[in-house]
Structure 1
Amino acid sequence: MWLAFHLLTGGTFLSARNLWNLSVQTASVGVMVGGMVLVIVMRHIDLSVGSILGLTGMIMAVLNARVLPDTSWSGWATLLAGLLVGAAIGAVQGAWVAYLNIPAFIVTLGGLLIWRGFAWILTSGQTVAPLTDRFQVFGGGLGGSIGGPWSWAIGAALVATVVVSDLRSYRRRARSGLPQRDPLLQVLVTALSVALIIGFILIMVGYPDPRTGLPRGMPVPVLIMLAVTALLMWVVRATRFGRYVYAFGGNPEAARLAGINTARLTVMVFALMGLLAALAGAIQTARLNAGTNSTGTLAELRACL
């Protein structure tokens, strides 16, 4: 598909500039995907994430443009307020599912309509703009990238992590007598992972800053997406919370009888989903430099698919 688009656009689609912009545009969805995976693993669904994204984005836009002064901390204060609202909305929806036994489909379908309505009521349908430069950093604006040297430093760290992780996993399975890949195949798999990382960094540094001509490097939204993905992977693989989520998804009744507080777990997962939707709202609102009522429309479909 990429090659077809590249040919149809006369060599524009696979340019560094277009791929850089696509990575920024998809970062908000990438942030929500991890939370949606946990929701789906627990046999639920959250259809309200697009509306939560829109509401929290509008709240952050109002705070940033009309309430908070333009100071060094205003961008972070705006983000924190949005995250708290998103987590609270998710927790409320999770409580309806966990303690009132209302299907998540019904609860979040109602949330899809309700939270979008609150976003409209908040500003009477007005678009709120412009936002401060410090908040726009979260959306990958002109100052929302880390430059070439730092991008290569992060790329080197990722390469080292992949190599060390694959090597440790190979040795651990060998000591345990578990079946594993042929050594040559393992080297090829690791080399492919390293090549993908290097290729990604090359694309990120291949798009120059229009003001200075220097490489823009990784955009902040992509860094946020990578950090969220890495954190959730660690949570799923190495924490009790992650094991409980998969135990609940395998057999909710067995998980409850095993002593897991399944109601609290459900609330926590939905609260996490709400927090990630708010984080996606911050990214998208900052990228647009405006809070609009249409922000996040149909984002629930993209996150679920």
Structure 2
Amino acid sequence: MRSSGSEAAPAPTGPVQDARSLADRLREIEFDPRMIGMVAALAVIWLGFDWLSEGAFLTPRNLWNLLVQTASVAIMACGMVLVIVTRNIDLSVGSMLGFVGMVVGLVQVRLLPGIWGFEHPLTWLVSLLVAMGLGGFVGLLQGALIAYLAIPSFIVTLGGLLVWRGAAWWVTQGQTIAPMDSRFRPLGGGVDGAIGTSASWAIGIALCAVICAGAVLIRRRRKRFGFGLRPLWAEIAIAGLACAAVLAMVMVANAYTLPASIARRLIEAKGGTWPEGGIAIGHGLAVPVLMALAVGAAITFIANRLRFGRYVFAIGGNPEAAQLSGVNTRKVLMLVFGLMGVLVGISACISTARLNAATNSAGTLDELYVIAAAVIGGTSLAGGVGTIAGAMLGALVMQSLQSGMVLIGVDAPLQNIVVGIVLVVAVWLDGVYRKRLS
């Protein structure tokens, strides 16, 4: 006997039902599956390189240096997310970093010493402000050409890639400027750029408190306005994982101990006595890592909580609709590139301080790593979609690849090949993911 058309179809069973329930659960907790994929990829990369390097990769020393090396790219990747979200691109960030770094070197070595001498307490601060101001000016200039003259961002920033790299050489005719101010060098990490174990634990605990308080406040706000809520177990799990990541980072930083000679000098400088068997003193968190975390938090706040951030994503989603809604799209676009320039200035200070010298080759190929970090982190080249946390995690993935290949002795040309392949695959996966959602 044939069933009637109005009869309900039997509920799906087996793998289809399981797959649907998993997808529904991910949507329920508002968690991006690509973030899970990145974490899994990072775990595979770390374990793989640790095996290939016979245990040399997953050591406190290498992981501490890895985080320091990631800081500069991660900061620029935060700005690149906003640029790409608006359906644009910035190919000039590496050359801008080299140019700004050379100017910072000149300010410290030739300009400021003539005003107030060497090793002045304000030299590092003035240098940082000059870098941010110069980077912001260059970014605004390029943004104005893109927004008001309607020149494609690819062309403007490709020209900037050539112009600012040439300017980096022209500023000092190719000469390296060194050394940097002693108060400026901690911005690059190293022994002087670590805050110690006690301060690191204090910051780690404070960050965990902020994460938990933020989760509670966001949940209350969503409930007040009638928005959907995650299950309570999901809120607790996400906050717990974030706190675990923070505390793990602090533990790794504190496990990387100072060399015995430096530790002894520090103990004796404080009037203590060096014990016969020695003592282990941890580095703690590095200054550039803290700067990267601060920038990431600030840009996340701008993107998610301020009107400017909403305008940026509205432009990326539909530029015509945003303009008809009253958004000054040209001004917003110019400011996005200006913000990108400010972040390049901060990264230039970190790179220059880390090298203790300003070189015209600084930042070479950084544009590749920054764009790759943003795309791997889930920023869509079609615009309108992107997260700051994803971009910073993408920067860690890219730097892990580079650091691991250096550790096992892979030649530089092959490293570039691998990075290029990863970038292409990331863009392909982004296209596949968006098609499945549509």
- TM-score band, normalised by shorter chain: over 0.9
Among 235, 247, 256, the alignment partner of 1:186 is 235
Counterpart CA distance in 2 for 1:81 and 1:169 is 37
Deviation at 1:177, TM superposition (A): 5.5
Among 204, 217, 222, the alignment partner of 2:284 is 217
| Match of residue 112 from structure 1 | 161
Cα 1:113–1:195 shift into 2, 3 Å? same
| Match of residue 330 from structure 2 | 263
Aligned-partner SS, 2:183: helix
For 1:38-187, list aligned pairs within 5 A.
Answer: 38-69=82-113, 70=118, 71-174=120-223, 178-187=227-236
Larger Rg: 2
Equivalences, count: 305
Deviation at 1:171, TM superposition (A): 4.2
Aligned-partner SS, 2:349: helix
1:280 matched to 2:329? The reply is no
Cα 1:257–1:178 shift into 2, 3 Å? closer
Counterpart CA distance in 1 for 2:228 and 2:324 is 34
Deviates more, 1:186-195 or 1:70-79: 186-195
TM-score of the superposed pair, with normalisation by structure 1: 0.96
Gaps of 5+ in 2: 1-44, 264-279, 373-438
Counterpart CA distance in 1 for 2:320 and 2:328 is 11
Counterpart CA distance in 2 for 1:273 and 1:135 is 22
Counterpart CA distance in 2 for 1:238 and 1:172 is 13
TM-score of the superposed pair, with normalisation by structure 2: 0.67
Deviation at 1:214, TM superposition (A): 1.9
Counterpart CA distance in 2 for 1:131 and 1:203 is 28
Deviation at 1:196, TM superposition (A): 1.2
Counterpart CA distance in 2 for 1:182 and 1:81 is 47
1:145-185 superposed Cα distances (whole Å, 9 cap, x missing partner): 11111111111111111112223334444555654443334
Counterpart CA distance in 1 for 2:320 and 2:65 is 46
Deviation at 1:188, TM superposition (A): 2.6
Counterpart CA distance in 1 for 2:233 and 2:106 is 56
1:249 matched to 2:316? The reply is yes
Deviation at 1:244, TM superposition (A): 0.9
Cα 1:60–1:15 shift into 2, 3 Å? same
1:253-288 superposed Cα distances (whole Å, 9 cap, x missing partner): 221222221111111111110111111111011101
| Match of residue 359 from structure 2 | 292
The one-letter code sitting in structure 2 at the alignment partner of 1:150 is A
Deviation at 1:209, TM superposition (A): 2.4
Among 219, 223, 226, the alignment partner of 2:293 is 226
Deviation at 1:139, TM superposition (A): 0.6
The one-letter code sitting in structure 1 at the alignment partner of 2:75 is V
The Cα RMSD (Å) is 1.5
Counterpart CA distance in 2 for 1:39 and 1:258 is 21
1:213-269 superposed Cα distances (whole Å, 9 cap, x missing partner): 422111110111000000011111111111111111111122122222111111111
Aligned-partner SS, 2:184: helix
Counterpart CA distance in 1 for 2:136 and 2:221 is 38
Among 65, 69, 74, the alignment partner of 1:30 is 74
Counterpart CA distance in 2 for 1:6 and 1:179 is 42
Gaps of 5+ in 1: none
Counterpart CA distance in 1 for 2:311 and 2:225 is 26
User: Higher relative CO (CA 8 A, sep ≥ 6), structure 1 or 2?
Assistant: 1
| Match of residue 2 from structure 1 | 46
1:197 matched to 2:246? The reply is yes
| Match of residue 65 from structure 2 | 21
